[in-house]
Structure 1
Amino acid sequence: MSSGVREPDDMDLGTDTDTDVDGAADGDHDDHDDPRVGDFELGEVPSASSIRRFTARAARSRAGASVGSLLTDVYTAVTSVVISVLIVLGVVQQLGEALPPAPPVHAPGGLSLPALVAVLLLAGVGALLSTAGRLGPVGAEGPQAAWWLPLPVDRRGLLRPAAARGPLVAALAGGAVVVVLDAGLLASGGGALVRSGLLGALVAAVVVLLAAVAQSRGVPRRRTAVVGDLVLVAAPVVALVLVLTRRTPASLPAPSWVAVAGAAVVAGLLAALVDARLGALPGRTLREGGSAATQAVGAVVSLDSRELGRALTGGAAASSHRRVSRLRTARGPATALVTADLVVLRRSLRHVVQLVVAAGLPVLATVVPQLASTVGVLVAVLVGGWMAASASAEGARWAEMAPVVDRLLPLEARTVRRLRMVVPGIAVLLWTVVALGAVGVWAGAPVDWVLLGLAAVPVWAAAAVRAAYRPAPSWDKPLVATPAGALPTGVLQVVARGPDLIAFCLLPLWIAIGLHTVTTVMVTAQVALSAIAVTIASSVHDKGWLERMMEEQDERKKAGA
């Protein structure tokens, strides 16, 4: 019975084999190898640029979007970025005009505004280097790593767009930041502002290119990130040294075209070096960098700060630890949960650095004469406190994604969330002693301010845990078109979970900063509001109380009908 598939003919196989064997035995075999592999001829290997063009053309053909829609999206994104930069520049310029003039002789322990700008730029360089080390900076996304890297073509041509993307984005961001700081706080303009912006863009590109050179040399991404973290920590240390030595500069030197040209030459040389070594990048490093960058971009587009933090932390996490902790503080379920959060915080250098920087913000605001005002101190305390609380709640954020420990321990869900507030509370407690101690020196009566800060510690911890356990946005709701893409209508309510406690339950602290005084009524009210904040953050409901009440009323109406 015929199966429809032709089997090899024994006679044909025997004839071919005998011919080959006899020819080889008689010495009649041709010395030249057959230029064929099986029944296929080897053609010319395509170039890397042609492969990239083919992939892009295939993606466009399947995207279903026209050139007009693409240009519209690009126009909307560029316009949004320009408008955002102009708005920020206008706000900073108004702030600079509203700041009091610098005193002719700085007070003991004071810090000038130009010195503060230099410290901020140094911190920005450290943050940029740390971010570049955690995200690659050169990487290949999942589809690219799966289809491009195994191809027998020059890898340099495949990776050039990815290698150029990081320095270009860093240059745009660095130039914008320098222009905003220079024009807003230092009141620069004209040619000096143009030179500052160009120099800032080139320095930012150089920082990312240095991280790419380190990656091509086989330096682990974790080591590059650690160097950036150390530079970031050096910023408040430099500020402290300037305050103690009283050698704060009265102005910053204006950049010259020679400095701009020198930075451009350095950037060009580094770019050429990176391009020459793209082929030496191992596939594993490219896959890891592309995966971390893709995760970070997705988190930014979806406005998920938790996923962004996981991308930055996991991008440079150590695969193994040399020192083994005995976990002596774990004596039961409750202490085991707190110990796990402490270990997570201790092993995350990025969050430890964030705690140090957060403690330095209120201190800097109180020692800079132009910023030592109600608004400046209020903003510094708000930003610094949220940074400290958020940095110490990494364990709660990981538990929200993978609640392994939460479900293994015999603890109630409310109890678990209260225990998650212990580590943020300890971190914010240390931050309070430094930050509100400096605010107390600025406003008088440091002991009273520290007592008010201690009463507010539970609010910071509750807000951090509430933000860590917030639900994901509901994408089944109507979407709103934004420059960052389509977002659900209730995304702002989700993002506000956590900061809402800081806005309402820390009213006594904000009033005290506005009035420059602390009273017994403020401390008592703060204790009551702290208890309310802990109760709210301990709730396991994804929806708010008002929303649940409205849903119950709707269900009752439906049942009655």
Structure 2
Amino acid sequence: MSDEAVAAVAPAEIGEVPSARAIRRYTAQAANARGGAGLGTVLSDVYFAVISVAISVLVALGFTRNLRLDVHPSTHVETSWDLSLPALVAIVLLAGAGALLSVAGRLGPVGAGGAEAAWWLGLPVDRRGLLRPASLRLPALAGVVGGVVVAVLESGLLATPGSTVGRAALAGVVAGAGVVLVAGVAQSAGARRRTIALVGDLVALVGPVAALVLVLTGAELPALTPGWLVVGLVAAAVVALAVLVDRRLGLIPARSLRESGSVATQAVGAVVSLDSRELGRALTDGALPAARRRVSRLRTVRGAASALVTADLVVLRRSTRHVVQLVVAALLPAIVVAVPQLASPPGVLVALLVAGYVAASATGEGARRAEMAPILDRLLPLEARTVRRLRMVVPGAVMLLWSLVAFTAVGLWADRLVGWLALAVASAPVWAAATVRAAYRSAPDWSGPLVSTPAGALPGGVAAVLARGPDVVVLGLLPVWIAVLIGRTGTVLLTAQLLFAVIAVAVASSIETRPLMERMMAAQEPEKRP
């Protein structure tokens, strides 16, 4: 290479290769210089974040304490099967650990973003020094979330003393960080993200299944409050895991780091832009195999309509996360009904709404993908409204099965099984309509004026956009609300639910994307003459 070429590549004097820490510091300084945010802005963001988290924790604490209501004798039927609150908390924590392991497996947990992967991974420096902050970021976040969740459950549902809550919160911090570090060890050993995510999904499924076994057998779990010695031993094990992950950072292949960083970047972008559909796609696609060994023959395809329905069914069947989500959501109302302290009308209603929306969102992956890339919708000779009605077939059928399972538990609790099963059938189309309406909602308009909030600058009307879907659940299930709160069903409520289901399907079939108020204002304006 000539001297001119060397000068063009490196005009400065060539010296020693900088350390990994120096490269990280240089990258951070360059990003901060171009970001335009000063120290005051950073401190203000941290202040608003801490205040928002504190308010959220207080709201969650008040909500969990309000759920601990005495069972009213007129709305609860005494049964031979029940579940204690400590057992419920232990099962919730087990399911949460499985969900955390699944998310950690889908995100990496160690990865390098696009710019970092393009520049850092090719440098002749120690890779451990480059990846050390990334390897600690997710375990630290998981530890904070785990400590907050355990503290809320202990002080809210169990109402334990302050000293015990502090010890339990510390155990939650250690356990949350340890779950993510286990995923990091598996990643450094060459395990695929799909395998780690599958193990996490199975652990999450064990939780509600164990609750069902405890309810049917009448067994009780012993007290699981860890002592300081146990917490110390687990903390030592977590520190050993952190050291092991740090020493094995250089063994993680560059391809795995790029894929993990790409998924994490996509997920962070979806959270910042308030796009739950993109977040779901990031978590789902991050654990899908690049190629499949089996090819489905799609024997149910007989035309355009059946092709659309079959495509939605195949998407749901191939997503293990959504199948586990459906099973867990179906068992949640039965678990709440089995806990005497929660088996009150407000508790049962909250369980139905939360579990129902979680299950319904799992069935709408086909519609969400069609909104992003409407390839199949445009190729098939079907009207837009017909396409949206066909997108409700798979969610409607699945939610019908979910409703029969969930409302069976409610019917046994209220001692009127037949009426509740009829109400379950009548309410299933509402869940399907809410799923399709949420899938085809328009994105927030970031080009318009922004509104300052504790979460940062958000576009005006973002609440109306995010409410598309949940609004159908809130309004379309009003007869179910009334039935649960009064503890009985009837012909009037069943007829009203059928009418509300027809209206919900009609609303979800509409291809109009503008809000109702905007359409009403546009209709009142006089037509412009040419």
Give TM-score, length-normalised by structure 1: 0.90
Amino acid at match of 2:381: P
Q: What's the counterpart of residue 165 of structure 1? A: 137
State whether structure 2 residue 518 is matched by structure 1 residue 537: no
In 2, distance between residues paired with 1:455 and 1:439? 15
Q: What's the counterpart of residue 297 of structure 1? A: 268
After TM superposition, the structure 1 = structure 2 runs for residues 395-414 of structure 1, keeping only pairs within 5 Å, are 395-414=366-385
Give the paired residue count.
Answer: 520
State whether structure 2 residue 103 is matched by structure 1 residue 131: yes
In 2, distance between residues paired with 1:137 and 1:253? 29
Contact 2:71–2:344 under 8 Å retained in 1: no
- TM-superposed CA distance for 1:40, in Å, is 9.7
SS of structure 1 residue aligned to 2:452: strand
- TM-superposed CA distance for 1:476, in Å, is 2.3
Aligned with 1:503 (options 474, 477, 499): 474
> Given the superposition, is the C-alpha separation of residues 401 and 146 from structure 1 closer, same or farther in structure 2, using an over 3 Å criterion?
same
In 1, distance between residues paired with 2:422 and 2:523? 42
For structure 1, the 5+ residue unaligned runs are 1-5, 9-36
Q: What's the counterpart of residue 78 of structure 1? A: 50
- TM-superposed CA distance for 1:119, in Å, is 0.7
In 2, distance between residues paired with 1:261 and 1:198? 10
State whether structure 2 residue 193 is matched by structure 1 residue 221: yes
Q: For structure 1, which segment, 343-352 or 300-309, has the greater mean C-alpha deviation from structure 2 after superposition? A: 300-309
Q: For structure 1, which segment, 525-534 or 84-93, has the greater mean C-alpha deviation from structure 2 after superposition? A: 84-93
Amino acid at match of 1:477: G
In 2, distance between residues paired with 1:513 and 1:72? 44
Aligned with 2:218 (options 235, 238, 246): 246
Aligned with 1:57 (options 21, 29, 49): 29
Amino acid at match of 1:171: G
Runs of 4+ residues deviating >6 angstroms = 37-41
After TM superposition, the structure 1 = structure 2 runs for residues 335-374 of structure 1, keeping only pairs within 5 Å, are 335-374=306-345
Amino acid at match of 2:122: P
What per-residue deviation string (whole Å, max 9, x for no partner) do you get for residues 222-275 of structure 1? 0000000000111111001101110123x6232211111111111110000000
Contact 1:139–1:288 under 8 Å retained in 2: yes
After TM superposition, the structure 1 = structure 2 runs for residues 492-531 of structure 1, keeping only pairs within 5 Å, are 492-531=463-502
Amino acid at match of 2:198: V
Q: What's the counterpart of residue 112 of structure 1? A: 84
Amino acid at match of 2:158: L
SS of structure 1 residue aligned to 2:488: coil
Higher-RCO chain (CA-CA 8 Å, sequence separation at least 6): 2
SS of structure 2 residue aligned to 1:262: helix
In 2, distance between residues paired with 1:269 and 1:488? 45
Q: What's the counterpart of residue 93 of structure 2? A: 121
In 1, distance between residues paired with 2:235 and 2:36? 40
- TM-superposed CA distance for 1:191, in Å, is 1.8
SS of structure 2 residue aligned to 1:529: helix
Q: What's the counterpart of residue 16 of structure 1? A: none
What per-residue deviation string (whole Å, max 9, x for no partner) do you get for residues 171-208 of structure 1? 00000000000000111122211110001110110000
For structure 2, the 5+ residue unaligned runs are 73-77
Q: What's the counterpart of residue 114 of structure 2? A: 142
- TM-superposed CA distance for 1:461, in Å, is 0.3
After TM superposition, the structure 1 = structure 2 runs for residues 6-405 of structure 1, keeping only pairs within 5 Å, are 43-96=15-68, 98-99=69-70, 107-249=79-221, 252-405=223-376
Amino acid at match of 1:51: I
In 1, distance between residues paired with 2:258 and 2:455? 25
- TM-superposed CA distance for 1:39, in Å, is 11
Aligned with 2:416 (options 445, 451, 462): 445
Amino acid at match of 1:53: R
Contact 1:429–1:457 under 8 Å retained in 2: yes
SS of structure 1 residue aligned to 2:337: helix
What per-residue deviation string (whole Å, max 9, x for no partner) do you get for residues 456-492 of structure 1? 1111100100000000011122211233321111010
> Given the superposition, is the C-alpha separation of residues 400 and 39 from structure 1 closer, same or farther in structure 2, using an over 3 Å criterion?
closer
Q: For structure 1, which segment, 325-334 or 284-293, has the greater mean C-alpha deviation from structure 2 after superposition? A: 284-293
SS of structure 1 residue aligned to 2:451: strand
Contact 2:71–2:343 under 8 Å retained in 1: no
In 1, distance between residues paired with 2:122 and 2:224? 51
In 2, distance between residues paired with 1:256 and 1:39? 62
In 2, distance between residues paired with 1:62 and 1:75? 23
Q: What's the counterpart of residue 21 of structure 1? A: none
In 1, distance between residues paired with 2:40 and 2:479? 53
- TM-superposed CA distance for 1:389, in Å, is 1.2
Contact 2:67–2:342 under 8 Å retained in 1: no
In 2, distance between residues paired with 1:339 and 1:206? 41
SS of structure 2 residue aligned to 1:470: coil
Give TM-score, length-normalised by structure 2: 0.95
In 2, distance between residues paired with 1:531 and 1:140? 49
SS of structure 2 residue aligned to 1:480: strand
SS of structure 1 residue aligned to 2:525: helix
Amino acid at match of 1:420: R
SS of structure 1 residue aligned to 2:110: coil
Larger Rg: 1
Contact 1:130–1:224 under 8 Å retained in 2: yes
SS of structure 2 residue aligned to 1:463: helix
In 1, distance between residues paired with 2:91 and 2:334? 13
State whether structure 2 residue 381 is matched by structure 1 residue 422: no
- TM-superposed CA distance for 1:143, in Å, is 1.1
Contact 2:111–2:134 under 8 Å retained in 1: yes
SS of structure 1 residue aligned to 2:514: coil
In 2, distance between residues paired with 1:54 and 1:42? 17
SS of structure 1 residue aligned to 2:458: strand
SS of structure 2 residue aligned to 1:365: helix
> Given the superposition, is the C-alpha separation of residues 157 and 386 from structure 1 closer, same or farther in structure 2, using an over 3 Å criterion?
same
> Given the superposition, is the C-alpha separation of residues 553 and 202 from structure 1 closer, same or farther in structure 2, using an over 3 Å criterion?
same
In 1, distance between residues paired with 2:181 and 2:38? 35
SS of structure 2 residue aligned to 1:240: helix
State whether structure 2 residue 452 is matched by structure 1 residue 481: yes
Contact 1:301–1:485 under 8 Å retained in 2: no
Contact 2:67–2:341 under 8 Å retained in 1: no
In 2, distance between residues paired with 1:438 and 1:100? 16
What per-residue deviation string (whole Å, max 9, x for no partner) do you get for residues 342-365 of structure 1? 000000000000000110111111
SS of structure 1 residue aligned to 2:457: strand
